[in-house]
Structure 1
């Protein structure tokens, strides 16, 4: 619903005024279709005849064309009253979201949808009470002004200590940049260190295929094939030899979207290949804190296995604490971090100090370790319940591996339905999910968040989804858990 007036129009004159203003302000561009008469009437509680009369008045003023059986369109010769916005959009550096991604983003706003496409934990495990107590103790004199270009010193000290405790890697706080989540860190790296025409080697499938970030930067993506143990080192070696990428970007722990964790032997091989070719590595470790209780400890990160000067290490609190706590960081050589901070200063004035102060207080409190245990146990409970419910999919020929961490199951679906049709059919059944196409996979794969919904909601959503996107009756009872 669009509302552009303080008071809704109640008469033909008011509606005409509202429509004319909307056209002049570019709400509807030339050649675009105005809302159907009935939907606009329902929006403002008017009679349909009132809308029809208003549209006739617009036609009389030369603003629209009315096409029998097609609708009412803004005339194509009105560029004199509005800028040529489509030309600006077409020539802009940033590319639009893929249609599938836009469809899912729009759908997940609906309250009647059971959403498996989300990439975050649910509010039932957010540490709200703990943070409310800590917020009262944040020194406002320290956080309400413009802060240090690298981020709040107290937070950088705390993150440095956390990296030392978890990874056994010593990081100077001056070699850490605090960002508004990991996504901003990755954006700064792409914008600051890559040039149009550069290429990077990344896993396929990969989260980055769902973003237009690299295409917007003019960077080519060189896919590294994967199996159940992660990227294939021999394939990476051959790719590097043939194409000489500028960097290697990897998400080796609880990989998004597949959930795979790269084993130690392959991590060592990847590091050796990159060292041999003097290639920097960007390690996205944003899911590192999302280990399912009772699963084996993950191998050492590339940041520890390699010379630290060759790895840019990206981490985040947003996935493990709450999506609205936009705190991420990138660690690396001081000269690179300083340059990234300079680029950041051209975009904004830094992550809000109050958020940084709260994050620093939380990481330094007993509540942080308690929260990690709570999340780990919740992941175990939700994952096991989800895996049990997936028997509905197993009976329709789908396969998957139960993840040891992260937030997602990665399914290979049965049937030959294209992803666009699967998504449309799922939405019509009251469910949405992230199709494999978004991540560079071929049609027929699905990423499902197993944490966001309650077990009861998840079971209902899985049943709907299985019926909608696999098609046909069950043909097997074989389990893939």
Structure 2
């Protein structure tokens, strides 16, 4: 984190000083910049690279860095208003509009402003990421024979597919696994393969906004099926299949996003039986199995491990347990659907870059991997406990019905009938969520409103609070204190 801050500060200073040099003029040497600003050579190198990317500096190996010559004047802006008509006309015949709303995804990807506590993050803080192990794995991978060529199979490296298959368990074999570029890509491939445009797809309610965006972009109609503390409710799932004729149900049976629920043992077989009777597939998004907390008991196996009939299409990933840029995941299926999944992936992306696959193999086969998972497991438990205690002490009005033993967030329900701005009584609906989110940002903490997690009208107002993207438990305490200030502004009192 400190290194990133130093790079940004150095870029700002050098950008201001560029006017001292004529176009083509040489900047001080890297060594001189290191001595002057008392930063590392890596910081100087990254700062110059950023300026070069902005077109302000030109670097010449062995010669140094030079101020770039002015760019030619920009061409006058064109008139793109015709696209509004073209794009609207293109979707006129669609049964379901395919306009894409990526806001729910961007919330967890965009970095908040400097100084803001990040309770809306979707990935591990850099201090929790295995950066050294990943760097070493990538370096070793880059030296492997053939590492920079095509993978020997478009489905992925056989050894990596075998590793994922062992993790899924049951009768899943390496031949039934495809390597994909992250869970989001795998989910998009699965929905394209299983549901034609215009048809319904059953989803948990609430559920991951990124999955809802994928479904809508593909022209599908998400139909909500409520979840409770034990996961999806089988009776309502059966009703939804009968009412809609859907042939796909997307779920997260383990540490569901956002509720943190785990599908109860007695419901697992029932969900598979209901889907099988409907002639439907279950897309299992097993996204945080490797982010189990230290105090959790034995984890249930993936649904795919208990499915001999090919009902389950399984998605799992290394990304959440490593880094947002380590986009290596697996898509597993049995039967004829596997060939359709494979064909769609090849058409869309060709294959996952081989150096990244080789690095994944190096990482998960190294002694650093189990050490990393143990460290993250302990740290996530400590952070979860810190956030839970802080909320119950400082914001008891927020109802925390379930405290998960895995994952990286909490899902508190906001109070109903609380005062609005100025003490005006109101039900705390989605408008209240938006007001609280804005007030929280003003107070210096970024949170995620609950509305994007519902495909229909939500039954209550919620916020999602992540404890993985912050620096430490001290930052959690400060973030909750700032959130209390925001709540007082919105609720009154």
TM range (shorter): 0.7 to 0.9
Partners of 1:292 and 1:354 in 2: CA distance: 31
1:177-230 per-position Cα deviation (integer Å, ceiling 9, x unaligned)? 100111100000112221112112111000046742111211111211111111
1:250 aligned residue: 251
What is the aligned counterpart of 1:86 among 81, 84, 87? 84
1:115 aligned residue: 118
SS of 2:168 mapped into structure 1: helix
1:226-283 per-position Cα deviation (integer Å, ceiling 9, x unaligned)? 1111111111112222222111111010000111111100112112212222321111
Q: Which deviates the most, 285-294 or 204-213? A: 204-213
TM-score (norm 2): 0.75
1:145 aligned residue: 149
Displacement of 1:106 after TM fit?
Answer: 8.8
1:348 aligned residue: 349
SS of 2:482 mapped into structure 1: helix
1:401 aligned residue: 402
Structure 2 residue ranges without an equivalent (≥5):
1-11, 13-50, 58-69, 92-96, 419-426
Counterparts of residues 255-270 of structure 1 (less than 5 Å) = 255-270=256-271
Matched, 1:157 2:162: yes
Partners of 1:459 and 1:170 in 2: CA distance: 45
Structure 1 residue ranges without an equivalent (≥5):
9-13, 25-78, 476-481
In 2 relative to 1, CA 315–6 (structure 1 residues): closer, same or farther, beyond 3 Å?
Answer: closer
Displacement of 1:149 after TM fit?
Answer: 1.1
In 2 relative to 1, CA 352–273 (structure 1 residues): closer, same or farther, beyond 3 Å?
Answer: same
In 2 relative to 1, CA 249–473 (structure 1 residues): closer, same or farther, beyond 3 Å?
Answer: closer
SS of 1:137 mapped into structure 2: helix
Displacement of 1:429 after TM fit?
Answer: 1.6
2:438 aligned residue: 424
SS of 2:145 mapped into structure 1: helix
SS of 2:124 mapped into structure 1: coil
1:455 aligned residue: 473
Partners of 1:430 and 1:88 in 2: CA distance: 42
In 2 relative to 1, CA 210–198 (structure 1 residues): closer, same or farther, beyond 3 Å?
Answer: closer
Partners of 1:383 and 1:473 in 2: CA distance: 25
Counterparts of residues 180-199 of structure 1 (less than 5 Å) = 180-199=181-200
In 2 relative to 1, CA 142–334 (structure 1 residues): closer, same or farther, beyond 3 Å?
Answer: farther
Determine if contact 2:105/2:209 at 8 Å carries over to the other structure: no
TM-score (norm 1): 0.77
1:326-364 per-position Cα deviation (integer Å, ceiling 9, x unaligned)? 011111125323322222222223111111001012222
Partners of 2:115 and 2:81 in 1: CA distance: 38
Determine if contact 2:437/2:447 at 8 Å carries over to the other structure: yes
Matched, 1:23 2:27: no
Counterparts of residues 26-425 of structure 1 (less than 5 Å) = 79=79, 82=80, 84-88=82-86, 90=88, 91=90, 94-97=98-101, 104=107, 108-138=111-141, 139-147=143-151, 148-164=153-169, 169-208=170-209, 211-333=212-334, 335-414=336-415, 415=418, 416-417=427-428, 418=431, 419-425=433-439
SS of 1:411 mapped into structure 2: coil
2:485 aligned residue: 467
What is the aligned counterpart of 1:445 among 450, 462, 465? 462
Displacement of 1:460 after TM fit?
Answer: 1.1
- Superposition CA RMSD, Å: 3.0
Q: Which deviates the most, 323-332 or 358-367? A: 358-367
Paired positions, count: 406
